[in-house]
Structure 1
Amino acid sequence: MNATVSTLNIASTPANPVLTRRLPSAAQLKQQLPLGEPLRQRVHAQRHAIRAILEGKDDRLLIVVGPCSLHDPQSALEYASHLAALSREVSEDMLLVMRAYVEKPRTTVGWKGLAYDPHLDGSDDMTHGLTLSRELMIEMLRMGLPVATELLQPIAAGYFDDLLGWAAIGARTTESQIHREMASGLDLPVGFKNGTDGGVAIACDAMRSAAHRHRHFGVDEQGHPAIILTPGNPDTHLVLRGGHSGPNYSQTHVANARAGLEKNGIPARLMVDCSHANSGKDPLRQPDVFNDVLEQHLSGDRSLIGMMLESHLFEGCQPLSDNLRYGVSVTDGCLGWDATEALLRTAAHQLQLQRARNQVIG
């Protein structure tokens, strides 16, 4: 596959050229790195399992957990191997989904993620980035893990959409018509985060929009401009991540969010992102948020279907440099693996005890 042909276009003046470089189409990359029928069936089963949790047919908690972003293939796969082993142990109580984020939103500038800059040096080798991202996701699927990511660039979504069990639309893009249209065509559950103000009205509008059919401008799998006709996505839900005014995971916040969903005729199913504003951007506060939400769930709030955690092999974060510490995030700070494992094991034990009590009562 040759994706190195460059063409020079003139944006406004000869002194201000815009360079373009062709990428392989989504169809070409999928042909180069095919999913294969066994893994295709596995993804189908994973999506079905997540839908069952959203619909209340499965009382397990949905836990999306992993690095804030993937930047090093070796540490990403080591983390995935730990998570896969833990997933098998807690599978009766939780469905663990690997957070495999390869795009990162930026308020101004900065490293945009593995799909953009896999060499971490500003060279922006996106052809390699897309290839490497797909390779990593496929390897995680082989380990038995469902894969989740945030879909930031609609064109990039076509390179991964067949691999994902779950996807997020971020707080900054929940209001975007383009992302709502994209979500309406995805055959997988999608979580819309509340807006950066902390309110849920924008996310409610997004879910109502994504549930409907759309005709919109887009790019087909061969990379050609196309009219896209989407069927609508019934498998969306709200993700509470806090906002400018602070956290929004308390019992009162959850009750208000649930009321907002019901007022709009949207199924009351909520996930709490334990990082971002809910933790005050302190990764070590994520367990406090997690345990608060778990207690609400154990107390009978079945609208709370799961949580998100930012977690890596080791806690904290680091700036990009020539001397990176292994297994430490280069974007938002993360909880370390040991603390993550202990948190999830304890939660699984609490869920087991509740199930045993319910069986006795029943």
Structure 2
Amino acid sequence: MTENSKRTVLESRQEIANIISDEDDRNRLLVVVGPCSIHNPEEAIDYAKRLLPLRQKHQNELMIVMRAYLEKPRTTVGWKGLINDPDMDNSFDINKGLRTARQLFAHLTSLGMPLASEMLDTISPQYISDLLSLGAIGARTTESQLHRELASGLSFPVGFKNGTDGSLDVAIDAIGAVRHPHHFLSIAKAGLTSIVETRGNGDGFMILRGSKKGTNYDAESLKEAKKKLDNAGLSQRVMVDCSHGNSLKVHMNQLKVAKSLADQMARGDRDIMGVMIESNINEGAQKIPKEGKQGLKYGVSVTDACIGWDHTVNVLAELASAVRARREQMN
């Protein structure tokens, strides 16, 4: 881990925490943007190098963090991610996956790119968490006590998605739970079963991701979420996921969601503090072919479909413009 890598991680963790708590001196928007999942480290580095100039260009309006998801929760079965099966051939060389993931994250952060990833299990974060600036707990695991315990001990902010059934209460309960210290059994770095004591994590927040029942990015849905958070004594600031339930699983709908959020911000909504977008070098998705990695198209997702690079450039510009308009409203 280089000095630049350490600086990237620590500075961005603080900047993100400031945005979540509404203490950012520029009132910026947190934007988590990147592939649904990383399956090829070279493509991830290519994507990061494209994103870095935009991160610089919009630095006064947007705090851009690269979405760097290495593990994927599956509704049934399927490829579970770079850590689980790095060669995409059912060899499940997890040792190689962990090494590859750590080397990639060290490289990306040394370039100056902060990273966000999903905490899918309680073991693998120990190998990569020192390289992350932001974490997310998915809709399927927000209710899990194991994941809440894990989040309470992480040294960076963590977002909790609403349930797949649309329930906001599971995320609200999780945010409340992780603020407190927890004691539980886990595996120490030496590989021994140990009693872990955490300090609690005060930087939890809600991610609205839609549900099987429909979307929740409109002004009325945001109002309901803010009211529930307020009633629970929590910050009303939320992140909105433009994909998943909010896009109705149609990747191009993310542009419509982002436009709606930009309009709401331009009208003065201060509580939309973050946006999540699934984006890749090339748009769409592909299935893993019989010949494995060799038959894959370059820069195309192997999990959820993503918007392509040109659309990514445009949507970031649109969000930056909305932040400027929101500032004018505030002044």
- Where does residue 219 of structure 2 map in the other structure? 251
Match of 1:299 in 2: 267
What amino acid maps onto 2:192 in structure 1?
A: H
With structure 2 as the length reference, what TM-score do the two structures score?
A: 0.95
Aligned residue number for residue 208 of structure 1: 176
Percent identity over the alignment? 44
Give the partner amino acid of 1:334.
C
The answer for unaligned runs of 5 or more in structure 1 is 1-34
Number of residue equivalences: 325
Tell me the equivalent position of 2:71: 103
CA distance in structure 1 between the aligned counterparts of 2:13 and 2:95, rounded to whole angstroms: 28
Extract structure 1 runs of 4+ deviating beyond 6 A.
none
Please report how far the alpha carbon of residue 354 of structure 1 lies from its aligned counterpart in structure 2 after TM superposition.
Answer: 4.9
* Structure with more relative contact order (C-alpha pairs < 8 Å, separation 6 or more): 2
Bigger drift between 317-326 and 60-69 goes to 317-326
- The structure that has the greater radius of gyration is 1
Which SS does the other structure have where 1:103 is aligned?
coil
Normalising by structure 1, we get a TM-score of 0.87
Q: Distance in 2 between matches of 1:281 and 1:346?
A: 22
Partner of 1:42: 8
Counterparts of 2:323 and 2:223 in 1: how far apart (Å)?
A: 22
Deviation digits for residues 283-341 of structure 1 (CA, Å, limit 9, x no counterpart): 00101101111221222221110100000001100000131110000000000011111
Shift of 1:41: 2.9
Go from structure 1 to structure 2 and tell me whether the alpha carbon gap of 1:125 and 1:74 turns closer, same or farther (over 3 Å shift). same
Q: What is the one-letter code of the residue matched to 2:324?
A: Q
Aligned to 1:312: 280
Q: Amino acid of the residue matched to residue 330 of structure 1?
A: V
Task: Give the alignment partner of residue 346 of structure 1, picking from 296, 318, 326.
Answer: 318
Superimposed CA distance per residue, residues 2-59 of structure 1 (whole angstroms, 9 cap, x where no aligned partner): xxxxxxxxxxxxxxxxxxxxxxxxxxxxxxxxx2444223211110000110111221
Deviation at 1:351, TM superposition (A): 2.9
Name the Cα RMSD after superposition: 1.3
The reply to whether residue 53 of structure 1 matches residue 19 of structure 2 is: yes
Displacement, 1:347?
A: 2.4
The CA distance in 2 between the partners of 1:149 and 1:38, in whole Å, is 20
The amino acid across from 1:69 in the alignment is S
Task: Quickly say closer, same or farther: Cα 1:127–1:348, change in 2 above 3 A.
Answer: same
Tell me the SS of whatever aligns to 1:116: coil
CA distance in 2, matches of 1:244, 1:91: 35
**From 110, 113, 129, the counterpart of 1:161:** 129
Pairing partner for 1:179 from 125, 130, 147: 147
Corresponding residue of 1:235: 203
Structure 1 match to 2:296: 324
